Amino acid sequence: MLRNYVLVALKVLGRRKFFTFISLFGISLTLVVLMVATAVMDNVFSSRKPETKFDRVLTLGRVRTEGPRSTRTGYAGYGLLTKYLYGLPGAEAVAIASDTSGLSIYHGGRKIESYIRHTDGAYWQVLDFQFLEGGPFSEADNRNANRVAVITDQLRAKLFGTGPALGKTFALEAESYRVVGVVPAVPITRLAAFSEVWTPIRTLRARDYEKSIVGSFMGLVLARDRSDFPRLRNEFKKRLEHFVFDDPAFTTIEAELETRFDGFARLLLGNIQNRQAAAMRILMIAIALLFVTLPTINLVSINLSRIMERAPEIGVRKAFGASSRTLIGQFVVENIVLTLIGGVLGFLLSLVALEALSRADFLPHAHFDVNFRIFFYGMVIAALFGVVSGVYPAWRMSRMQAVQALRGAL
């Protein structure tokens, strides 16, 4: 019976091509926006190379210190991270990395614009880079301030052409650095991993960062398991309760270990009694529901018009004993077929939109895609779209008396 419903649905859709086009356009456009937004969010927040372990990572990024007359807010300072983050129970590894900053490399008489990040040796344990040449620098390299660097394959091509880069040198800030590793280019959406050059923290010339509370660094805590998150957060919170300020202008400090999504929610919503992530998820769901409301209402109106035009068919089927349940089932299936076709079109258009977004110059090395999970979500949304927009018209149709339906055809 379901097969017959689907075949009838395809014939009905071909009967009124203009209404079908309008319906498919609205459905596919709605799903394109939702799929592209979902793909971008998935690319930013899901665990992907080189951040494959980030389902087990807590970060310490933003820090706020206050006093009677002064307030400072920014990235964490190196001094805060080394004193209060190391040795947390339940942590498999703790790493420190600077924020990414732009720099100019002068090589072979050319100026090359690039990005640099300074890290410790543990950074390479938390991140999961694929090395095309060599390997990462070690914590011993960091302690000894060895002038070594890991670079991306794209920067390798700019510096050294098509040949290997391992062991070769280039100048950074008037100092010569030796290449010890080459990795694939990292999308800018991988916030903790993105850079084009990585060097040891202690190669920084100035040493004023060593005792800073607010600075330009982030802490990365790799837990053995996600179940250790509460323990890690509580232990860090207890340590901050005994924080000692060197500067009498500040008396309180606020800093939290959080997941990437927690940080995003806090950035947008502020501190909502430590429930930013839940509030953010509710807000995102509400926005998505509001976004699909208008196309759903429009599709309901179109479906009512289409069903009313089929009054003679409805009357004949009722006269021959078709039940309301059977008729509702048939018309809902027809509408689901319509929305699933729109979903497939939306998926194909999403691929085009994401490819264009990936090629955009303002997002270095970005690559957005639609994986099976996103496609599945899109089809589920399309099916729900079909059910919701089809139930009411089908119910209206099923309430018609056979005689009324036949008269409506005259």
For 297-342, the pLDDT digits (tens) are 766 766 666 666 666 666 666 666 667 677 777 777 777 777 778 7
pLDDT at 380: 77
List the beta bridge partners of residue 4: none
Q: Confidence class of residue 361 from pLDDT cuts 50, 70 and 90?
A: low
Upper half-sphere CA count for residue 274 (Cβ side, 13 Å): 8
Average pLDDT over residues 225-245: 90
pLDDT at 49: 86
**Between 186 and 35, whose confidence is greater?**
186
pLDDT at 238: 92
List the beta bridge partners of residue 179: 149
Q: Residue 332 CA to chain centroid, in angstroms?
A: 34
Residue 4, pLDDT > 90, answer no
Q: DSSP 3-state assignment of 104?
A: strand
Burial class of residue 220 in the structure, from the number of CB atoms within 10 Å of its CB (0-12 exposed, 13-18 middle, 19+ buried): buried
pLDDT at 254: 87
Residue 116, pLDDT > 90, answer yes
Instruction: Count the Cβ atoms, other than its own, within 10 Å of residue 85.
Output: 23
Gap between the Cα atoms of 347 and 351, Å rounded = 6
* pLDDT, averaged across the chain: 81
- pLDDT tens for residues 212-228? 899 999 999 999 999 99
Residue 272, pLDDT > 50, answer no
Of the ranges 2-6, 304-308, 402-406, which is most confident? 304-308
Helix axes 17-45, 2-15, angle to 10 degrees: 110
Average pLDDT over residues 158-173: 92
How many DSSP H helices and E strands does the chain contain?
Answer: 13, 14
109: left (phi over 0), alpha (psi -120 to 50) or beta: left
pLDDT at 250: 85
Gap between the Cα atoms of 87 and 360, Å rounded = 42
Least confident of 36-45, 222-231, 245-254, 390-399: 390-399
pLDDT at 399: 67
